[in-house]
Structure 1
Amino acid sequence: MNAPPDPKRVELLDAILPHVAFDGWSEKAFREAISTVGVTPAEARRLCPKGAVDLAADYHRRGDEAARADLMKEDLSTLRFRDKVARAVRVRIDAITDKEAVRRGTAMFSLPHLALEGSRLIWGTADMIWTTLGDSSDDLNWYTKRMSLSGVYGATVLYWLGDDSLDQQATDDFIDRRIGDVMQIEKVKAQVNQNSLLRPFTAPLARLSEKVRAPRGGTPPMDMPGSWVPPKS
């Protein structure tokens, strides 16, 4: 399980947020946070080797944990499967407390040298959602579910950042469309797999996919970067 975050690192995150709207997740904002918290630059670097980038990642993971807690309180038992996933994405968006911080973070994590870190964070969000919804897949589906939802969530964030509709209804509609697209792909995959004429072509891939297993062990599982690990209760 994840170790509890260092209290001083939490303080640095809280201290940097008021500066992000003006300076982004930058070195300047990081220095302002250091000054506010009152730690030495050396101690701040020990806590956050990558400076503001580490704090931006912490902010994203804080949103994941807030969304997980909110989802655990909801009764989703009466919803269709696709509606459960759509609701979970909406809850994760609602967990964002600072839209400008996300806007700045999205721009930063799109930079070539930080794109992998950004992808890991989004993958972690998708993993959190599937884990919280009770996903028990242990094969190739473990990966494809998270890959598809990562695409949905990433696209939704970009749409939401520009959404000025009443109660962000346009974002809800966007989520429904994207989830619908994924469900349509899954439907086509099922039809292809059931087509006897195509079986000679799909059978080798099916046998290969049967050998794929979800990550096992580690915190997070070392064979799949970006996995979300629930905190200790």
Structure 2
Amino acid sequence: MSQDALLSAMLTHVPFDGWSEESFRAAARDAGLTPAEARAYAPRGPVSLAAAHHRRGDAALAETLMGKLDGLRYSEKVARAVEERLRLAGDTEVLRRSAALFSLPQNAPLGSRLIWETSDTIWRVLGDTSTDGNWYSKRAILSAVYSSSMLYWLGDQSEGQEKSRGFIERRIAEVMRFEETKARLRKNPLFAPGFRLFEGIRAPKSSSGLPGRWDMPS
């Protein structure tokens, strides 16, 4: 038995009863575990399993995208990665229940961290090598894009989520325009000093290690 097996049992109940204690107890019974044993695998009960489910999707992303991004423009690669990550969330009702769970005040910090981890996963899959302030700005911007795309995805009734695909592409296009504007401002003498300070920011040594550090620009 493992947390993964308990999670799989939980997912059969989530569409009906959400990430609730009732679902958690039912999953424990299905997995042949006592409540205490289930808590050993998931200390926060359903919240722990919801986080594990989200991270399972992140872990599957790189393998899913293997060979699917060749020949695409960079903006198209980002859009495809966001779309694939939403598909990896599985059942739409499970995703809806997850969004509701992590919107609760007591769970919002964890929810924000999970979205950040997803953004970090996408950038790493795309080969991002930034180590300065861009490491943070890219992930912060993509976190906002992913969050808004997820909400749109949940309300999309179009065939094959076609409208969501267009929404994601528009959001990514806006991000690319922002990056182009930032590149122009970087060359402007009026804004150059601010960018030098920004470039002194250093990314953390690992994806989960926050914060990073700031070095005086040379």
The verdict on a shared fold, with TM-score over 0.5 as the criterion, is yes
Distance 1:30 1:191 in 2: 52
Structure 2: where are the runs of 5+ without partners?
Answer: 213-218
**In the alignment, what sits opposite 2:215?**
none
Q: CA deviation at 1:171?
A: 0.5
C-alpha distance in 1, partners of 2:186/2:2?
53
Whole-angstrom distance in 2 between the partners of 1:108 and 1:209: 35
Map 1:193-208; keep pairs closer than 5 Å: 193-196=186-189, 199=190, 202-208=191-197
Structure 1 residue 222: deviation in Å? 4.5
Match of 1:179 in 2: 172
Kindly indicate whether the alpha-carbon contact (under 8 Å) linking 2:28 and 2:38 is maintained by their aligned counterparts in 1: yes
Which residue identity does 1:209 align to in structure 2?
F
Is 1:49 aligned to residue 43 of structure 2?
yes
| Local SS of the residue matching 2:129 | coil
TM-score of the pair, normalised by structure 1: 0.86
Instruction: Summarize deviations over 1:104-138 as a string: whole Å, max 9, x none.
Output: 01011011111110011111111111001111111
The residue type equivalent to 2:70 in the other structure is S
Q: Does 1:63 align with 2:51?
A: no
Give me the whole-angstrom Cα distance separating, in 1, the residues matched to 2:182 and 2:199: 16
Tell me the CA shift for residue 30 of structure 1. 0.4
5+ residue gaps, structure 1: 1-6, 225-233
Q: What SS does structure 2 have at the residue aligned with 1:89? A: helix
Shift of 1:39: 1.2
Please state if 1:18 is matched with 2:12: yes
1:221 has 2:214 as partner: no
Instruction: Determine the C-alpha separation between the residues in 2 that align with 1:94 and 1:82.
Output: 19
In 2, distance between residues paired with 1:182 and 1:94?
22
Root-mean-square deviation (Å): 1.5
Q: Is the partner of 1:157 in helix, strand or coil?
A: helix
Contact 2:149–2:168 under 8 Å retained in 1? yes
What secondary structure does 1:96 align onto?
coil
Post-superposition offset of 1:164: 0.7
1:1-233 equivalences under 5 Å are 7-74=1-68, 76-196=69-189, 199=190, 202-217=191-206, 220-223=208-211
CA distance in 1, matches of 2:7, 2:23: 10
TM-score by structure 2 length?
Answer: 0.92
Cα distance in 2, alignment partners of residues 189 and 55 from structure 1: 40
Range with greater deviation from structure 2 (124-133 or 40-49): 40-49
Contact 1:215 1:222 in 2 (8 A): yes
Amino acid at match of 1:210: E
Specify the alignment match of 2:216 in structure 1: none
Give the 4+ runs in structure 1 shifted more than 4 A: none
- Give aligned-pair identity as a percent: 50
How many residue pairs get matched?
Answer: 212
Q: CA deviation at 1:93?
A: 1.6
Q: Which has the higher contact order (CA 8 A, sep 6+)?
A: 1
Moved more, 127-136 or 65-74: 65-74
Amino acid at match of 1:207: R
